[in-house]
Structure 1
């Protein structure tokens, strides 16, 4: 095995795997398969679809009863949805990471102020300071969002814990179809200089891991790759999660070919 190949395998051993689940039945397969961050998301409601209050209560109850110790994350949808729908949801302190997108904010001059107000509103309600993850879209123009570099700078100034690069549309290209490794590398280097964790998602597949190993993200997020037939709206499969995590850790085929 070449040293280059070995380095790539070791790099991804230190990258955490985030798996998005939509109900309690998907938690055990995700964790048993090797999930290291458990994310709550409704894939039927978009890239960052927020689970409803009843589902959230059931997910948290499952975690409590099963003594789940895996860090918890939750998608909160888009900033514009909180403004137009006047959402209300009390988030418990068990949820460490909160992800928020900025579609339809491309022409807004007030989006950063509105975001700060939302953070204050949620944390006053929960009585807890969460770790916020700003979401930038690879297809930001389609999403009418801001460029990843603009969101990165705002995240740095807004005491965020990290930056997630995802895809807004799940029908118009995967992450590595839309952004080149050089673009992502520059973005990741800048994020690290701002002390932000960097997460990559967007219909990622096992075959993407060699490129991702060079990029060395802190977190890789999957939904479709964890599901039957790579269909993000089907059920999570333990075997699919385990295969993906195993490939992140170590590849016997890579050893042979190296």
Structure 2
């Protein structure tokens, strides 16, 4: 069953969703890039407030593709108690070498780590097998440029289906995000991803850095449930 993820940037935003908690409450700073990291203390306070009522995830920031930098950030974020840590794999020359070096660090972690690919950057689904070998527990596709273009502006449903199939083949959790709108649920639901991620669709004027609107979260939750999805 496809679940849904909502990204929040503060404890206050998390509390605003107290009546419509998503399956995964994601923590990131939308003003600091595609996967901007929040202070560890903020993440920890949200995790404590959630108290197991839903799963939590957090991003580690838009990092350079160096294994030591990523490892340090992942370990620090995992120590907050989140259920998943998300790492962006940006299209940089050292990406594949970085993946090869991450294996030892990731397999030692108890917290699952999710790789994030970007539909608007060069790359292909052949990376999925390397992500698995590196020790990641899941992979999602998002958009790096927050310019109003959505995931479906970059990848067709055929490409998304291939991505999901590759994730399944390698036994990876898989997610779809990238300026998703509530209307996209009807298109993406048949693909059977593990979760769909939302931020801009939750916010005033669909601007990801503006305030979160609980009514929008409720609308997404109800739409997901109308398809027999989410909790």
TM-score band by shorter chain is 0.7 to 0.9
C-alpha displacement at 1:104, in angstroms? 4.6
Change (3 A) 1:35 1:77: same
Matches of 2:88 and 2:78 in 1, distance apart? 17
| 2:139 corresponds to 1:177 | no
Paired residues of 2:47 and 2:82 also in contact (CA < 8 A): no
Instruction: Answer yes or no: is the 8 Å Cα contact 1:20–1:222 preserved in 2.
Output: yes
**Correspondence list, 1:10-49, <5 A:** 14-49=1-36
1:113 lines up with 2:100 in the alignment: yes
TM-score in terms of structure 2 length: 0.86
Q: Does 1:230 align with 2:201?
A: no
Shift in Å, 1:130: 0.9
**Could you say if the C-alpha distance between residues 169 and 62 of structure 1 is closer, same or farther in structure 2, counting changes exceeding 3 Å?**
same
Distance (Å, rounded) in 2 between the aligned partners of 1:16 and 1:113: 30
2:64 to 69, 80, 83: 80
Match of residue 118, structure 2, among 124, 137, 141: 137
Alignment of 1:121-160 (within 5 A): 129-141=110-122, 147-160=123-136
Contact 2:34 2:62 in 1 (8 A): no
Please report how far the alpha carbon of residue 68 of structure 1 lies from its aligned counterpart in structure 2 after TM superposition: 4.4
Identify if the C-alpha distance between structure 1 residues 62 and 249 changes in structure 2 by more than 3 Å, giving closer, same or farther.
closer
Alpha-carbon distance between aligned partners in 1 of 2:22 and 2:95, rounded to the nearest angstrom: 37
Instruction: State the number of aligned residues.
Output: 224
Aligned partners of 1:108 and 1:199: how far apart in 2?
A: 21
8 Å contact from structure 1 (residues 33, 239) kept in 2: no
Counterpart Cα distance in 2 of 1:132 and 1:190: 18
1:254 corresponds to:
none
Residue equivalent to 1:215? 191
The one of the two structures with greater contact order (alpha-carbon pairs below 8 A, sep at least 6) is 1
Note the alpha carbon deviations across 1:80-138, whole angstroms, 9 max, x for none: 17767975835326311111012252455521134336537xx6xxxx51111111100
Evaluate the alpha carbon distance shift between residue 240 and residue 108 of structure 1 in structure 2; reply closer, same or farther with a 3 A threshold. closer
8 A Cα contact 1:19 1:30, kept in partner: no
Trace 1:176-215 onto structure 2 (pairs within 5 A): 176-215=152-191
RMSD value over aligned CA atoms?
2.4
> Quick one: structure 1 residues 37 and 109, their matched pair in 2 at CA, closer, same or farther if it must change by over 3 Å?
closer
Give me the TM-score of the superposition, normalised by structure 1: 0.78
Structure label with greater radius of gyration: 1
Q: Is the 8 A contact 1:148 1:165 kept in 2?
A: no
- Structure 1 gaps of 5+ residues are 1-13, 142-146, 252-258
Q: 1:158 to 1:240 in 2, by over 3 A?
A: same
> How far, CA to CA, are the matches of 1:161 and 1:224 in structure 2?
26
